[in-house]
Structure 1
Amino acid sequence: MEFLKKVSMFLFIHTMMESGMGVFFAGNLTDITQCPDDFGDCVEGKISCKKCQEGFEGNITTRCQGSEWKPVLENCVSPNLGSLLSGFESIQLSENHFAANVSGTPSIPIDQCPVISFISSGIQTERTTAGNIAAIVSLLQKISLRCFMGDLSEKNVQDYSKMANHILNTSTLSNWTLVPQRNAGSVLLTSLHALASSVASNTQPLPNVTVQEEFLSLQSQHISGDRDFTFYFNSSSQPVSGQILIEKAKARGLTDLSAVSLAYPTLGDILPTESENVSVNGLVMSLAVSANISQIFLKFEKVNKSLSINTHCAAWDKGKETWSQDSCQKQEDSATHALCKCKYSPNYLSFSILMSPKANSDPALHYITLIGLGISICSLVLCLMIEALVWRHVTRHSTAYMRHVSIANIAVSLLLADIWFIIGDATFKAKSSNVCITSTFFTHFFYLSLFFWMLLMGLLILYRLFLVYHDMSRTLMLATLFSVGYGCPFVISILTLAITLNQPGKPYTREDGCWLNWDPSKALLAFIVPAFIILAVNAAVTCTVISVLLRPSIGQTPRTNERGYLVQIGRCVAILTPLLGLTWGIGIATIIEDSSVVFDYLFTILNALQGFLILLLGTLMDPQVRRALKTKMSSLPWHTSETKNTSSNPKCHSQSPHGNKTSDEDLS
């Protein structure tokens, strides 16, 4: 590589001739740490380093894992490439010195840029070690800052693209993970976009330029504002394609619009993503234009066409150096392609699609949910009809009154939540975004109302257990119940909607259904947090009830029929479980990684049938309700009607801490 040294020397001499001074600058990419010739003994977790092999400068850093040395970082740079990079750094120093002594802002003449051709030829023969990749990225960045300040020739564009293509080869991907500079991929993307911007803004417009390398494609066109325009890309290294569409409505009034687009099939594997479960699933495409436009459409063919993945439209945030979904919206999504609408701004210039795994979906669970919801809705309607029919007979004293108020509102909330859930499912299939947002809001509101009324049921149980002789007026009690039961859910739901919709790029709904979004807005926390807090409180209430039933009252002899006693406790727990929503607690097991599918089935069955369980255990198993129904339904003249409807001897009972018997009707 002697000619690389000559090129480097040429740059030194040219700079000194232009500035009228001699400058010496020694630059080195390699780490100054002195490492031995071998890693030494491998001890689990130990980090070690050694010198690069002959012909390279720098070190290789490794970690001992499983009795083997695994590379962590590598900065092995060929001497010729390091010398060439030092030459460019010397040019920068000379310019700064020149600027300090001469008025005005100097710029290196454009006639230096023809050396890009010599540099490109040499770089394409260099090995793509991690150190060399970092050096080439740094060199491309310096060239973009030095040579793209004025007009470029088509030859410059071709040579620069070949250098980038060399380090975007699929064979280099494993070495990119060892590059010490973690933002090297972002720097390369920015440098290539600077190339496109320079071509788009040339004062002497180039003819339509096309670069078709194996791992990089570039197209430039002049666009009139009276028609739509689309860039088409087909990757030769991966069987995927992409399109960038500029609508005439967005370019109207622009008589001379130059646009340059780039596509990279492998850059998505180099740029970092937010987690290991998220990866790029298509071409990375960039666009540079000579005028301001606000919006573009991009169509991506998917690399992974599996139906078990979620697709997200994303833009590369140049400032944060990460993928962001803030400025893109998915317009269409099929098994093979995705169409994205993205805002075009100085901070979002490159775009792609990301994929993440879908939650395991089981058709059987889907059908169980639909059948269970149908049974639940019918059961809740029947429950409310029974409550209305026997209301006057079963609400004659305050304890029974508050209990049936709670049951009725639990049934109403769950019924409306189930109905809006079904509406949301139908809305999502119809692709109506506004109706989807509406159904998500009401589903969120009524499910929260369900949980808050279940919380109130639990608190009423504690109130009657420990404050037996305390009475609160019905008006005050109802005001408290309705304020908490519907007021708190409304505040949480409306705040979630308002805060999320006022944050661009923070979607309110999910991409795969009409429900609260998790990533990136975390709107789902507005349901999960209050729900699990309420479940914890109600679980504590259930434990308290069991402890009361297990504790004999003062003067009461120990029970001899333990089996019957356990049956009574089990009956009380069975009644409390659906009314306090404890079946939702199984959801904790379903989100644990590698948990058994049994938990998914239990969660789906029990919660889809919650309405039926409320009807069965909360209404039909209440002796007062059964007696009232017999009274209402009896039309035979010889049938003896029962008249006492306010209290009964419980089948599951225990003395309260104050000596009063506490029935399961009161507890429930």
Structure 2
Amino acid sequence: MNSTMMPYNISLNDTTSANILNLQITTECNITNFGRSCVCKAGFLWNMTSCYTYPTCAGYPFCTCLMVPNGSVPFCELPCDPSNATVALNGIFTLNQKYTTELQKSSNPAYKTLEKNITTALVFAYSGKCSPLNVSISGFSNAGGVIAHYQMLLGDPVTTGNLTASATTAVQLLQNAVNSTVTVAGMSSIEPQQLRVNMWSPIILTCTINEKMDAVDWYLITNNGTDMIFDAGTNIRISTSYPAGAGMTISTLSIARADQWSIGTYLCQFSRKGLHYNATARVNVSLLPSEIILKPIQLSFLASAGNSVRLQCCAKIDGESYRVTWTYNGKTENAYAAGTQADLQCYTLNVSAPSTDTNYNCTFINSAGQKQSAIILVTIIKDGEQFCPQTKTNDGISWGITRAGLQVTVCCASGKSGNQTRNCSANGEWMEVQDNCISLILKKALTDAQTLQNGLGNLQERVPAILSVVTDLSAVSVNNPAGVTTLVSILGIISNVSANMKVTFGASVVTDFLAVASNLSDASFSSLWKTSRSPAASNMMKSVEQFSALFKTDNDTFDILLPYIQLKRSSYGNMSNIDDYAKAFSDFNGVTTFINKETITAMLATDNITITTLVFKTIGYLLPNTTTGPFNGAQLNSVIQSTSINSAVSINLCGEIHMNFTTNFSGSNYGQRCAFWDFSQPGDGGGWSDQGCKSNVNENLTICSCNHLTSFAVLMSINAEPLFLIDEITYAGLAASILSLCVCIITECLVWKSIVRNNISYFRHISLFNIALSLLFADAFFFSATFESVKNYKFICLSITFLNHFFYLALFFWTFCQSVMLLHQLLFVFHHVRKKIFISLSLIVGYFIPALIATGTFFYFYPKQTYLHQSVCWLNPESGAIYTFAIPAGSIIIFNFMILMVVISKLSRPSVSEAHRPEEKETAKRIMKAVFVLTPVFGLTWSFGFALLNDLDSLTRQIFSYGFAGLNAFQGFFILLTCMTEKKVRDALTKKVSSRIKSSTKSSMTKSEVPKKIFKVSTISKDK
């Protein structure tokens, strides 16, 4: 057939034919002495299979002239454009071959030989089921052997089955190949491939492949590297589905709120039988500044200074093109960049100082029109206004002139992140600095942990790296509450994310985690914990327990012994050789944990188990004291130990766990109870509970038996254990006391003129009246504080505490006035004190001094948040506030006892010289009698309370407790009895009541006589 025969019709089958319009020669072969040599005509090339199937002709470049044996009919093809290839492979071979320097350059013979062998194997492996278009070897690397890197382009058709078979064949053809990894592009896809979203908007990417895959992983590729994306928290969700009958796999990545972490190239990777099928999509986010840095954060000027104002706002350079504006005094103007500072882009505003307080609003606007603002407040200090002067602290931070009553915030010193705040008091004095600065190393560790929290990164790599940085607390400069809180946050993030992803770690990683927690539990950091406003200690204990459950080791037993936290664990899997789980912690006061082998055997019937016990030496004393109910006001009296049981399936404790605690303090007047820390309780991090626990208390040892697992300890009641009917006696006594005091005060008012006829009577009754009045108010406020609704309102509880403090002090100081007056009358019989002097001194002592003490106590302790008791409306005993009541009251009680001794001594040896004043003498005796009754009321009863502070046996404690509750609660009743035992009072009261009765009777009689007279007159008239 030649061109003159065109067009030429040819039948393909019985029904189909074709017309050949043109012929073109593609391959030319010549017969030589060595065989048939074939070359391609102009415009045509040999395909990859032919090049590696037939040898190259002598003297010709590779794949130009081929020596083709008889019977073979290869032919050249039109050149293939690699850009039209549908599938691209990137792969590596791990070769069992020693790496040499000859493999570093492509011109070396060893390089060329290995390159040809690998290329030949790839071509032959993939030619059988695929259409290889191009193969290239990109180089060799050393990793204990030779790692060969290659790329390959394939034409249609391509299936995952063919790729899997071809990849397996390639490994078999390379005799020294150990394994192979292949990533495939072009068989899966992501929609959309390009996406730009606004800040905080959702991102949804859908990845599809027309095959059913075993697994799918997502990655984010940025300039900083490649991070794995995992389902974390509430922001990232990954879902995979296999539509029925469709023979495909669909994976959807959903990000609820896009932010700076969301920018990059997203890689979706399906995996099956050693092959990874990749697809990518690019996502950009219209960002807003993560933080607007103000310089200064706020500013004050003296009105007379007339300074100009230079303000600056900065944001981290993040690739977004912002438009920045300044708004103040109702006008807005564009801001212009003032240059960069480190990694910040700053914008400056220079204006004249305002005449009044002004807000300067700096606003960043992104490409999507979204805005983020920050305000600099400029205050003007007018003439006569208080202000704090400019000063500089030891760390070099400058605090500018500030109007009184304002809080100032400044940036941290160089090398730190965060801020410092300081209050300028109402009288123009600087208060203490609140340091919220952390080191940049600690900030970087927190950022890395937050990256994991956002679902980015390989936990097995990132977690050890973060922990290695923060293990040395001195290196990360933890010297303030902010540092403690940051470290606890890092531990919490690592623990939560790792637990959610069910990732396990070896001994070194778990040891580092526990070391950070142990270092933070050191006594030298206790002050930093107590000033922290977050429930950090509870969070850290929970994180340690949670992370310890991720501990994986091949050893049957393993211990981690640190100064303040210790871990001991045992693994059980052999049903034929089971021992009791018994762990002793001799370094921690002999704490032991015991689970009998019967319980362990019962649990092993389900699955293999690992039992882990943690002991916390000091962290318990840092837990928030928010417990209510039976443990309200109790204090920790032992270390804390926590035991957990881990297995592949969920297993519950099938028996009891027995724990021995050596208590720190013991005494029959305190109750020792086993309890566990319940993280689920409302409040700041949980609270103590004893549900499911039994306590067996010995002298210095408490044995706890519980039917569940968590953090256990022994709690000691700060107050004595509640006694039978003690609350009822107290409430009844208070009610009777309040009623009696009201009767006493009314009685004193009714008979005042009748009984107060000399100075001694006047002094005595004025003291008695104020004692009754003070106690009435004190008892009333004390009684109101017993209601839970009152305790829940801090302001009301605070007010009741202050008033209780004042009136109880007033009560004691008025008894002091009465005792002093009595002592004066006994020692200086013929010397009289004028009423005016007595009243003046008594008011000062009885009310002014208590008011001064109560007010001073409030203003000293309340700013430190240590004024109130944590569980009742009373003064805080831990901060020392209680001593402002106990010391004055105790001193007056002692003085009253001394006066009582003087009275008794004086009564037993009366002076003869006093006989010439019988009336005054008689009055003095009556006062002595009254004091003899009053002094025990205000002295002896409170002595019962001081006695309860000692370690008493059970019976003695009960006697003093009932005595103290009964006598003190009924003080008002005793005062009424004291008032009524005086004969003059009784006579005056009787006379007063009698006169009222007679007056009432006379009035009744007068009214009854009128109708009688009328009746009488009427009768006479009728008779007439």
Per the normalisation by structure 2, the TM-score is 0.31
* Structure with larger Rg: 2
Task: Return the structure number with greater relative CO, CA threshold 8 A, min gap 6.
Answer: 1
Structure with the bigger percentage of helix:
1
TM-score by length of 1: 0.46
